[in-house]
Amino acid sequence: MGLLLIGGPITVGVVTGASEIETNSGRALPRPAASFSYPQELSAWLGEHATMKSLAIRLDGWIDRSVFSEVPVAGSASPRVTNGLNGVMYIADAFNEACSPHIATEELVSRLSALTSLIEQSGREVRLLISPDKSTILPEFLPSAFALQECFSAYNTDFWEQLRNAGIPGFLDLRTALEDARLTRRELLFKRRDTHWDDAGAAVASRALISSLSPKIWNDDELIFNGTTEYFGDLNVLSGESLIDVAPSYSLVRDGITQENVLLIDDLEHARNRRMIFSGSQSQLIAGRTLVLGDSFSEAAEGFFLQFFSDITLMRLVDYSPDRYVDLIAESDRVIIWSVERTTPYRVAFDWGTPEFLDLLDERLKVGE
């Protein structure tokens, strides 16, 4: 059923011939799978079958849930895309959230601290990763003047200053990791026509995570550059444009690591909630049971961090369920909460940062002591 919900609105435009542009080479819609390559395969299929402007409207909500792993934005009358310099496109949601935040940053930081403190005090390892939006890492390509510019700049500066200075248990500063990498690698780290980081950016974030958990396990020599690859960006769909862009392609090759088993937790959407088991020497893998509560940014990085864990469970933030979340946390030795910058205020305000969820988690973790 999840696959039908994904394919349905897309296929209609293709079958009826309603598309404005069609570049269909016969590529089949990829089956939901636990492989590293599924997100890239889905992006390529969209690039060949998207029906541009008419399809963009119908795909808007689907993209939020299935590509961004976000709650759909109410209505689609407002432009979702801001065009920057040198062909760089930005998601306008980042500016809207900054200028009309769902929660004050001081309260957000307080709730995040309470959440990770509960997990840490229960004897579990915890990491909190906030994926910076492209507008945070690539501000030099923003248009010289745009709506909400002033409030975005003020909010963005305060948001990251408070995150960095609050002493949140387990907080990992991905913004600094990405900004430092841009100075040394001279790469954008984000796709020009997509909201997400490219393989280079995903590898930087994964390196920061793995190194924080096991300082000597990451090996830069295992990261292989494969040249460039074509992609059809999600911002293309939202803007109704058809340009196919290219981005650097990397892969992580870890000799001696084998994927042993995959257990699907549910069949929601494109079946990304799953538990994966890897085998290898003790020195190559992080032991214990790890839980990642993540979104489309962590999904885009899976090929660069999954192979470091012996037992890892992946749960999408868009499939939030209080009881299931607290049970998964209680069953884990290590919890990684990984949320993109622009949706973190909403999720803290209404999902896993609410006093109700914190109380439920506190109760559940105490029962397990």
Q: Confirm whether 45 is domain-assigned.
A: no
Q: Confirm whether 2 is domain-assigned.
A: no
Q: How far apart are CA 138 and CA 191, in angstroms?
A: 11
| C-alpha dihedral sign at 152, 172, 83, 65 | negative
Q: Which amino acid is at 347?
A: R
Cβ-count burial of 157 within 10 angstroms (0-12 exposed, 13-18 middle, 19+ buried)? exposed
Per-residue pLDDT band for 242 (boundaries 50, 70, 90) equals confident
Q: Confirm whether 70 is domain-assigned.
A: no
The predicted pLDDT at position 315 comes to 97
Average pLDDT, the chain: 84
More confident residue, 158 or 8: 158
Q: Which amino acid is at 25?
A: S
Q: Confirm whether 37 is domain-assigned.
A: no
- Using one digit for the tens of pLDDT, what is the confidence trace for 247-278? 999 999 999 999 999 999 988 867 789 999 99
Q: Confirm whether 362 is domain-assigned.
A: yes
- Using one digit for the tens of pLDDT, what is the confidence trace for 272-286? 899 999 999 889 999
- Number of domains into which the chain is organized: 1
Q: Give 83's strand partners.
A: 89
- Using one digit for the tens of pLDDT, what is the confidence trace for 300-349? 999 999 999 999 999 999 999 999 999 999 999 999 999 999 999 999 99
Residue 119's φ and ψ, nearest 5 degrees, are: -70, -45
Q: Confirm whether 197 is domain-assigned.
A: yes
Q: Confirm whether 62 is domain-assigned.
A: no
Domain residue limits at 143: 87-227+245-367
Given a cut of 80, is residue 91 above it in pLDDT? yes
237-272: burial string, b at 16+ Cβ within 10 Å, e else:
bbbbbbeebebbbbebeeeebeeeeeeebeebbbbb
Closest CA to 96 of 357, 345, 309, 359: 345
Q: Confirm whether 42 is domain-assigned.
A: no
Q: pTM (2 decimals)?
A: 0.82
Q: How far apart are CA 241 and CA 67, in angstroms?
A: 17
The predicted pLDDT at position 70 comes to 53
